[in-house]
Amino acid sequence: MNVTSSTVEAITVIEASGSIDSKTAPEFERTAIAAIQGQKEVIIDLTNVEFLSSAGLRVLLMIYRQVKTQSGKVVLVGTSEEIQDIMANTGFLSFFITVDTLDEGVKTLKAS
Amino acid sequence: MTDNRIDYYPTHEHEGIKFRRGHTLPFGATMVANGVNFSIYSSASTSCTLVLFERGEAEPFAEIPFPDEFRIGNVYSMIVFELNYERLEYGYRMDGPYNPAAGLRFNKSLILSDPYAKVIGGRDTWLAKPNWDNVYQYRSRLAFEDFDWEHDHPLETPIEDLVIYEMHVRGFTKHESSGVKNPGTFSAIRSKVAYLKELGINCVELLPIYEFDEWENSRESPTTGEVLVNYWGYSTVNFFAPKAGYAATGKFGMQVDEVKTLIKELHKNGIEVMLDVVFNHTAEGDHRGPTISFRGIDNKTYYMLTPEGYYFNFSGTGNTLNCNNPVVRNMVLDCLRYWASEYHIDGFRFDLAAILGRAQDGRPLSNPPLLESLAFDPILAKCKLIAEAWDAGGLYQVGSFPAYGRWAEWNGKYRDSVRKFLKSDPGEVGGMIQRVMGSPDLYSLRGPTASINFITCHDGFSLYDMFAYNDKHNEANGENNNDGANDNNSWNCGWEGETSDPAINFLRHKQVKNALAILLVSQGVPMVLMGDEVGRTQKGNNNTYCQDNDLNWFDWTQKETNADLYNFARCMINFRRVHPVLRSPTHFQYWDYVGSGYPDISFHGTKAWNCDRSSSSRSFAFLLCGDHAKQGIVKDDMIYVAMNMYWGGLHFELPALPPEKKWYLFANTDMPSPVDIYENGQESLLANQSDFLVGSRSVVILVGK
């Protein structure tokens, strides 16, 4: 797993790749939590994520909770169909806005 | 995290794994700071070893013997550091004497599941072929217990207001006609919540969802060649773990979140969730069965044993859980508390619950401590507790189950009375009068809410088959039709099995409607079997425990092909829900205690105010006074129900209404659809207000308003 953070049009973008499981989730969490401090608009780009385990899903929810306490929004980008299915079955999907591309993600947040 | 606790750090090391003394409670494997706390009880073992696997691996990566100083009393505990929560599978080896006559069956060559494991791996996808050579088949795993419930909590619907729907998680959506993603799973049920809501039920009772092994006793059907499996799941491998094979995400080990998500969704829609729980026995069977967990951990604690060390068999399945042993009692209590608090379960139906009232030597106890503990438990205080008040050892406690003011019962006498009445047996009117009143003959001190009324359940004929078969047809089960009950009180309406005779088919549908109508106007708590509302058939099989196929799966096309039944069931269920007079929490008093001019209930016959209870009578009617609804707290309409199970039509003189009210027809099962039943509020005004011809084998429901 690899995780980076950047800023696109004043929106915090966290991009991960590979497999997010209990081994890699702590690093994902550390990077993401540091990047979202004080941010109201956050994009998590999962285009290159192959698998999200329970622990990975929990990091997403933790990011959501923290951003929500600031009345912010989290958008997931590029979530594969399989991961969306897992997230739907386990109830995590309902917390997020999902779009296909980063551009759409930026537009969605700018429009809201 | 502040790291100022001493127990955040290891003190011991074994082959590179770091660990320390653990906490004795809670039992099971619990995530703690930096590690996992393991705790397990065994009274008669001499030593214990913790066995750790990477998920799915054939060989363990570590085996850590518990140092003597880690055992307090009969509990071994240790904290192991730096384990991967998600990838970990664990088990135990217990050493001790092998002496069956003394009730001891230790075998340290076996790896045992934790009785308190919250997830079990090994049967992750339904009917995925297991590796039979696996050294450890049912693997204990950890669960994340941090679900986001948002604002959800158990619904606490008054029990008298429930309409229970007994259903099988897999069977509900497995049929290709369900049109759902991930058919046969917890997740798929969410796609059908709108259906449940429209039908009007407000409680689903799920057939066992604790981890069991569908492969147990699997074999080939002699008639179809299909594989026969343990489909119902009344054979628990672990009491704390949900059935992974019922989860779309079972292969990822995420079944805990999936089940909770389903419950949250059902609750959002006002539907309670009840679990059918099986504490009378386990999947380990008798002395010939597999050693999975309990037998190898502490055989004589967990099972009732004869003086010679054999297994008592009050369950009919080989062994009997030793429920009134204090340790086992606590396990049951811990388990139910866990499901009530962690999963927000609203109630439990206890399979063969009479066993829960037996002493350790098998005697029925007059004051069974387990039943008392459950009744008064602070966490279970708002949960519904429902007993199947008999067992396979011959203990029959319908009406006498030790209830402590809390327990309700599956009312087997309700089922039998209604079935006999429906098939026109003589001498049933007296019994039926008791049944429609909530069985005051059985529950005089407990009220009608003690009575869970049902005509069919998973065990036995489906409702449609009740009127299509005189005899069971269980050949597909491969037991020479010797299995299943013989006292079905069914009647095939003149032809055994399917027929194209329209008169017989009309009568069968009418009988299904009669049954639904009676069930839903009876005081007490109605339970409908999944699919009965659309005429589901098991083709005469009355014991489909092993059939993972069309005999059990809900065929969604029947909602259209039997649209008359579905419409009737929906309207009847909703009729009950809009009429509080049908849902009294207390027994009727037979007098007018609100000054309405009518007693709360009165019985009638072909002559108003005259009910023929003689043995030759096959018909009667009753009148409920709406002013007495909920003991006079709310106002409802007058409701008059005439039941004629005689084979000819009978004129029923209608009781006179107060002058400002008129009789309206709500249901008449003698009529063809769609004029057999009306939408609530759209009942049809009767031209003749004083007399009604009730057809042969028909039920008529009138509303006075």
Q: Residue B423: phi, psi to the nearest 5?
A: -95, 20
Q: Is the CB of residue B60 less than 8 Å from the CB of residue B92?
A: no
pLDDT reported for residue B3: 67
Q: Is B388 an annotated catalytic residue?
A: yes
d(CA B383, CA B406): 9
The strand pairing partners of B311, in sequence order, are B305
Confidence at A46, pLDDT banded by 50, 70, 90? very high
Contacts of B699 by beta carbon, 8 Å cutoff, 6+ apart: B513, B514, B517, B518, B641, B642, B643, B644, B667, B668, B669
Domain spans in chain B, listed from the N-terminal domain onward: 162-192+202-230+273-291+347-372+384-581, 585-704
User: What Cα–Cα distance (Å) separates residue B667 from each residue in B337, B534, B576, B640?
Assistant: 43, 18, 13, 11
- Give the mean model confidence (pLDDT) for residues B554-569: 98
Query: Among A82, A64, A61, which residue's Cα sits nearest to residue A72?
Result: A64
CB A51 within 8 A of CB A84: no
Q: Looking at the domain B162-192+202-230+273-291+347-372+384-581, which fold is it?
A: TIM Barrel (3.20.20)
List, as one string, the DSSP characters of B431-485.
HHHHHHTT-HHHHTTT-GGGEEEES--SSS--HHHHTT-SS---GGGTSTT-SS-
- Paired residues of B364 in beta bridges: B358
- pLDDT of A112: 75
Provide the pLDDT for residue B2. Answer: 60
Sign of the C-alpha dihedral, residues B49, B54, B58, B61? negative
Chain A hits for B257, Cβ within 8 Å: 54, 57, 90-92
Fold of A2-107: Transcription Regulator spoIIAA (3.30.750)
**At residue B673, what are phi and psi to the nearest 5 degrees?**
-65, 145
Contact B254 A90 (CB under 8 A): yes
Residues in contact with B47: Cβ distance below 8 Å, sequence separation at least 6, in sequence order: B65, B66, B94, B95, B96
Reported as a pLDDT band with limits 50, 70 and 90, residue A43 is very high
Q: What phi and psi, each to the nearest 5 degrees, are found at residue B537?
A: -120, 145
> Is the model's pLDDT at A53 over the cut of 60?
yes
Sign of the alpha-carbon torsion through B68, B74, B80, B84:
positive
Q: Which residues contact B561 (CB under 8 A, 6 or more apart)?
A: none
- The catalytic residue among B114, B388, B428, B533 is B388
Q: Cβ separation of A86 and B261 shorter than 8 Å?
A: no
Does the CA dihedral B478-B483-B484-B489 come out positive or negative? positive
pLDDT digits (tens, 9 = 90+) for B673-705: 999 999 999 999 999 999 999 999 999 999 999
Q: Which of residues 58-97 of A touch B (CB under 8 A)?
A: 58, 61, 85-86, 88-92, 95
Cis peptide before B526 (omega within 30 of 0): no
pLDDT in tens, B79-128: 999 999 999 999 999 999 999 999 999 999 999 999 999 999 999 999 99
Residue B595 burial (C-beta neighbours within 10 Å; 0-12, 13-18, 19+): exposed
Do residues B413 and B399 lie in contact, with contact meaning Cβ atoms separated by under 8 Å?
yes
Q: How many CB atoms lie within 10 A of CB B659?
A: 6
Task: Compute the distance between CA of residue B52 and CA of residue B91 in angstroms, rounded to an integer.
Answer: 7
**Alpha-carbon gap: A22 to the closest alpha carbon of chain B (Å):** 6
Task: Provide the Cα torsion B454, B456, B460, B466; round to 10°.
Answer: 130
Burial class (CB in 10 A: 0-12, 13-18, 19+), B384: buried
Chain A residue with Cα closest to B246: A89
Average pLDDT score over residue span B595-615: 97
Taking CB atoms and an 8 Å limit, are A90 and B257 in contact across chains?
yes
What one-character DSSP code corresponds to residue A23? T
Tens digits of per-residue pLDDT, B489-535?
999 999 999 999 999 999 999 999 999 999 999 999 999 999 999 99
For chain B, what is the mean pLDDT? 96
Sequence-separated (6 or more) residues with CB below 8 Å from residue B688: none
Question: Measured between beta carbons, which residues in chain B are less than 8 angstroms from residue A92?
Answer: 257
Interface test with B, best of A89, A93, A94 (most B CBs within 10 A): A89
Distance of alpha carbon B679 from the chain centroid = 30
Q: Does B150 touch chain A (CB under 8 A)?
A: no
Residue corresponding to tokens 């659809």:
B673
For residue B609, the cross-strand partners are none
Pairing of strands B650-653, B691-694: antiparallel
Pairing verdict, β B407-410 and B384-387? parallel
* pLDDT recorded at residue B583: 98
pLDDT tier, A90 (very low <50, low <70, confident <90, very high otherwise): very high
Q: Which of B248, B254, B264 is opposite residue A54, by nearest beta carbon?
A: B254
Q: What percent of chain B has pLDDT over 90?
A: 96
Contact B628, B648 (CB under 8 A): no
The verdict on B376 touching A (C-beta cutoff 8 Å) is no
Does residue B211 have an active-site annotation?
Answer: no
Task: Number of A to B CB contacts under 8 A, please give it.
Answer: 55
Alpha carbon B644 to chain centroid, angstroms: 32
Nearest C-alpha neighbor of B253 from the set B44, B55, B481, B431: B55
The answer to whether the CB of B110 falls within 8 A of the CB of B296 is yes
Contact yes or no for B84 and A23 at CB 8 A: yes
What DSSP state is assigned to residue B130?
A: P
Q: Residue B454 — very low, low, confident or very high, per pLDDT cuts 50/70/90?
A: very high
Classified as helix, coil or strand, B296 is helix
Residues of A in contact with B187 (CB under 8 A): 88-89
pLDDT (average), residues B222-232: 93
B423's tokens = 């098939």
Distance from CA of A90 to the nearest CA of B (A): 4
Do B185 and A90 lie within an 8 Å CB cutoff? no
Across the interface, do B86 and A85 touch by the CB < 8 Å criterion?
no
Contact B249 A89 (CB under 8 A): yes
Q: Which of B85, B148, B254 sits opposite A22 (nearest CB)?
A: B85
The shortest C-alpha distance from B186 to chain A (Å) reads 8
**Unique residue bearing structure tokens 């995530």:** B31
Distance, in Å, from the CA atom of B619 to the CA atom of B413, rounded to the nearest integer, reads 19
Who contacts B55 (Cβ-Cβ below 8 Å, separation ≥6)?
B86, B87, B88, B89, B121, B141, B253
Query: Tokens 């929810």 — which residue?
Result: A61
Q: What is the percentage of chain B residues whose pLDDT exceeds 70? A: 100
Q: How many CA atoms lie within 13 A of B145 on its CB side?
A: 18
Q: Is B119 on the interface with A (CB under 8 A)?
A: no
Tokens representing B41? 């009880």
Q: How far apart are CA B628 and CA B286, in angstroms?
A: 54
At B7 the pLDDT is 85
Pairing of strands B451-454, B47-54: unpaired
What are B623-666's pLDDT values in tens digits?
A: 999 999 999 999 999 999 999 999 999 999 999 999 999 999 99
Contact A89 B182 (CB under 8 A): yes
pLDDT per residue over B22-57, tens digit each? 999 999 999 998 899 999 999 999 999 999 999 999
**What Cα–Cα distance (Å) separates residue B522 from each residue in B47, B448, B527, B580?**
57, 10, 11, 12
State the DSSP H helix or E strand holding residue A105, giving kind and residue range, or none if neither. Answer: helix A102-111
pLDDT at residue B693, rounded to an integer: 98
Per the CB < 8 A criterion, the answer to whether B234 and B168 are in contact is no
Residue B1 has pLDDT above 80, yes or no: no
**d(C-alpha B557, C-alpha B571), whole Å:** 19
Residues of B in contact with A22 (CB under 8 A): 84-87
B181: which chain A residues are within 8 Å (Cβ-Cβ)? 85
Rounded mean pLDDT, B368-395: 96
Of B117, B149, B96, nearest to B27 by C-alpha is B117
Residue A23, chain B, CB below 8 Å: the answer is yes
Average pLDDT over residues B594-602: 97
Catalytic residue among B160, B346, B351, B627: B351
Domain borders along chain A are 2-107
Q: Which residue among B86, B247, B249 sits closest to A55, beta carbon to beta carbon?
A: B86
Q: What distance in Å separates the CA atoms of residue A105 and residue B336, rounded to the nearest whole number?
A: 44
- Given the structure tokens 């049933």, which residue do they identify? B428
CB atoms within 10 A of CB B212: 25
| Whether the predicted pLDDT of B370 surpasses 90 | yes
B172-215 residue pLDDT tens: 999 999 999 999 999 999 999 999 999 999 999 999 999 999 99
3-state helix, strand, coil in chain A (%, to 5): 45, 35, 20
Q: How many helices (H) and strands (E) does chain A have?
A: 4, 5
Q: Which fold has domain B585-704?
A: Immunoglobulin-like (2.60.40)
User: Tokens for B566?
Assistant: 């579905």
Q: Do A86 and B144 touch (CB under 8 A)?
A: no
- Position B4 scores a pLDDT of 79
Contact A23 B87 (CB under 8 A): yes
* Cβ-based neighbours of B421, under 8 Å, separated by 6 or more: B428, B429, B431, B432, B518, B618, B643, B645
Give the minimum alpha-carbon distance from A52 to chain B in angstroms, rounded to a whole number.
Answer: 10
Q: Tell me: pLDDT of B162 over 90.
A: yes
pTM of the model: 0.97
